[in-house]
């Protein structure tokens, strides 16, 4: 596989993590994604070549896990990836400080935030107004694509945007968006947060290009499944976009497919009479999306759980799948091979615990014990008596 070159927009003299990264991204990233990002930072300016396969070997993950992690950071615009014939050949660690500059300016009714940005700091009030107008132009250029040319098509389409307040106000003035906000608040049973929640909603509308009716269906679907968090709804929207969902019809097909899969798992656990709760859904999605297992292997793990402990336990099934993932298991044939290897190891371990007696243990002692008086017999005399008794 082609090697990947790492470069950065920042100084590569030390390995450091941006405070912006910690504040905005670290809480939502999983273990694999964080490891990959930190290792990429460590590799800046290094002499050793890295590759997807090399990262997979280093962390003992599958190549698919590494590719998903890279795609995750690319989608968030934390990195930019260059590809050749579908393979990643270079990764740029983006400068987060310049990306979030607009937010500092937008909070700018608060003078302290403007002062923190030396580029906009000035004693001239007109300069402050000019700086804010400049930030608006910069944001508009970013949305129109002038700053995303270095990104891959997937990254430019799927990346999460952070809208400054003035842009949120502009969106709210649209009638369809205003109706969407009203409908969303009705489903959630509460007003939308003025910044975070609205950002998530407009990301689905403006960047994922979901039609209003699809967003309403998505929110209704999540709420009916007990999820009222806009962060959760946003992640579900990203998953749908990756699945190519852009209409209600496609969404209903996907929901029906997921519903059948949830039912299959519950039925295998002997729980076919109830609906999946959120913890059930989280486990199944983890097995499919994070671990990358097919339904055949998931059901195999569930069946083994029931055979082993005779109790429906998602945690026990997860422990089985986690071990298979660590061994890069992806087919039933590989599971059978792993079972055979396990049985052979068990037999070998059992043989080592049994101490078979050696022939030396049965060797007759050279000097028999003398703790009793030995008897002596005249075998010829005994034979004569035996013959005589037999003749009478």
The percentage of the chain sitting over the pLDDT mark of 70, rounded to a whole number, equals 71
What is the tens place of the pLDDT at every residue in 334-392?
999 988 888 888 887 776 665 555 555 555 556 655 666 667 777 788 888 887 776 65
Q: How far apart, in Å, are the Cα atoms of 174 and each of 22, 167, 178, 202?
A: 34, 12, 6, 12
The pLDDT value given to residue 352: 64
Cβ contacts of 187 within 8 Å, gap of 6 or more? 216, 219, 220, 223
Terminal Cα distance for the chain, rounded: 101
Helices (H) and strands (E) in the chain, counts: 20, 3
The pLDDT value given to residue 80: 86
Dump strand ranges (E) for the chain: 5-8, 79-84, 87-93
The pLDDT value given to residue 85: 78
Higher-pLDDT residue of 3, 227:
227
With CA atoms as reference, report the closest residue to 171 among 134, 135, 141, 197.
197
Class of the CATH-defined domain 165-246: mainly alpha
pLDDT band at 150 (very low <50, low <70, confident <90, very high): very low
pLDDT at 256 over 70: yes
pLDDT at 9 over 70: no
Mean local confidence (pLDDT), 180-191? 88
Q: 59 near 35, Cβ under 8 Å?
A: yes
The pLDDT value given to residue 37: 92
Q: 161 near 206, Cβ under 8 Å?
A: yes
Strand 79-84, strand 87-93: pairing: antiparallel
Mean local confidence (pLDDT), 200-215? 89
With CA atoms as reference, report the closest residue to 316 among 334, 332, 331, 303.
303
DSSP labels, 28-92? T--HHHHHHHHHHHHHTT-SS-B-HHHHHHHHT--HHHHHHHHHHHHHTTSEEEEEETTEEEEEE
The pLDDT value given to residue 313: 92
pTM equals 0.41
Q: Domain 258-346, what architecture?
A: Orthogonal Bundle (1.10)
Q: Which two tokens stand for residue 7?
A: 């470069």
Q: Which two tokens stand for residue 304?
A: 């083994």
Collapsing DSSP states into helix, strand and coil, what is residue 164? coil
Mean local confidence (pLDDT), 185-207? 83
Mean local confidence (pLDDT), 24-29? 84
pLDDT at 60 over 80: yes
Cα–Cα distance measured from residue 148 to residue 224, given in angstroms and rounded to the nearest whole number: 37
The pLDDT value given to residue 118: 36
The residue whose two tokens read 């945007």 is 161
Q: Which two tokens stand for residue 382?
A: 């005994």
pLDDT band at 127 (very low <50, low <70, confident <90, very high): very low
- 3-state SS of the chain: helix, strand, coil percent to 5? 65, 5, 30
Angle of helix 212-224 relative to helix 230-242, nearest 10 degrees, comes to 120
Backbone angles phi and psi of 90, in degrees to 5: -155, 145
Q: Which two tokens stand for residue 319?
A: 């422990």
Q: How far apart, in Å, are the Cα atoms of 124 and each of 127, 185, 370?
A: 5, 42, 118
pLDDT at 112 over 70: no
pLDDT band at 322 (very low <50, low <70, confident <90, very high): very high
The pLDDT value given to residue 378: 76
Dihedral angle, C-alpha 307, 311, 317, 323, nearest 10 °: -60
Higher-pLDDT residue of 162, 172:
172
Cα–Cα distance measured from residue 43 to residue 5, given in angstroms and rounded to the nearest whole number: 9
Angle of helix 314-326 relative to helix 278-285, nearest 10 degrees, comes to 10
pLDDT band at 318 (very low <50, low <70, confident <90, very high): very high
CATH number of 5-96: 1.10.10.10
What is the tens place of the pLDDT at every residue in 264-316?
898 899 887 777 877 888 888 889 888 889 999 999 999 999 999 988 999 99
pLDDT band at 151 (very low <50, low <70, confident <90, very high): very low
Question: Where does CATH 1.10.10.10 sit in the chain?
Answer: 5-96
Mean local confidence (pLDDT), 44-51? 74
Q: 37 near 29, Cβ under 8 Å?
A: yes
């Amino acid at each position: 596989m082609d090697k990947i070159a790492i470069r950065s927009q920042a100084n590569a003299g030390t390995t450091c993590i941006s405070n912006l990264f910690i504040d905005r991204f670290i809480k939502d990233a999983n273990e694999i994604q964080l490891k990959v990002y930190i290792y990429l930072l460590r590799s800046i300016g290094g002499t050793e070549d890295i590759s997807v396969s090399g990262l997979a070997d280093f962390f003992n993950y599958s190549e698919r896990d590494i590719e998903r992690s890279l795609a995750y950071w690319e989608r968030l615009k934390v990195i930019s990836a260059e590809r050749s014939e579908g393979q990643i050949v270079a990764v740029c660690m983006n400068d987060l400080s310049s990306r979030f500059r607009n937010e500092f300016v937008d909070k700018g009714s608060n003078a302290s935030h403007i002062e923190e940005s030396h580029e906009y700091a000035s004693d001239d009030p007109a300069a402050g107004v000019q700086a804010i107008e400049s930030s608006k132009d910069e944001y508009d250029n970013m949305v129109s694509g002038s700053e995303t040319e270095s990104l891959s098509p997937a990254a430019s389409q799927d990346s999460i945007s952070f809208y400054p307040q003035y842009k949120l106000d502009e969106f709210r003035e649209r009638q369809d968006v205003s109706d969407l906000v009203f409908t969303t608040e009705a489903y959630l049973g509460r007003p939308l947060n003025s910044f975070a929640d609205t950002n998530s909603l407009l990301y689905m509308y403006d960047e994922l290009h979901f039609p209003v009716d699809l967003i309403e269906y998505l929110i209704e679907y999540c709420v009916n499944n007990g999820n009222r968090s806009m962060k959760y709804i946003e992640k579900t929207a990203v998953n749908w976009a990756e699945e190519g969902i852009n209409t209600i019809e496609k969404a209903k097909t996907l929901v029906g497919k997921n519903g059948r899969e949830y039912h299959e798992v519950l039925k295998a656990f002997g729980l076919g009479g109830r609906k999946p709760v959120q913890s059930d859904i989280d486990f199944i999605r983890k097995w499919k999306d994070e671990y990358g297992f097919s339904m055949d292997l998931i059901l195999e793990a569930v069946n083994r759980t029931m055979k082993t402990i005779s109790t429906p336990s998602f945690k026990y099934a997860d422990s089985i799948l986690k071990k298979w993932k660590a061994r890069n298991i992806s087919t039933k044939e590989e599971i059978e091979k792993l079972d055979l290897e396990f049985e052979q190891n068990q037999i070998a371990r059992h043989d080592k615990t049994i101490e078979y007696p050696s022939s030396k243990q049965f060797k007759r002692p050279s000097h028999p014990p003398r703790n009793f008086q030995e008897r002596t017999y005249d075998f010829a005399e005994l034979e004569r008596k035996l013959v005589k008794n037999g003749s009478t």
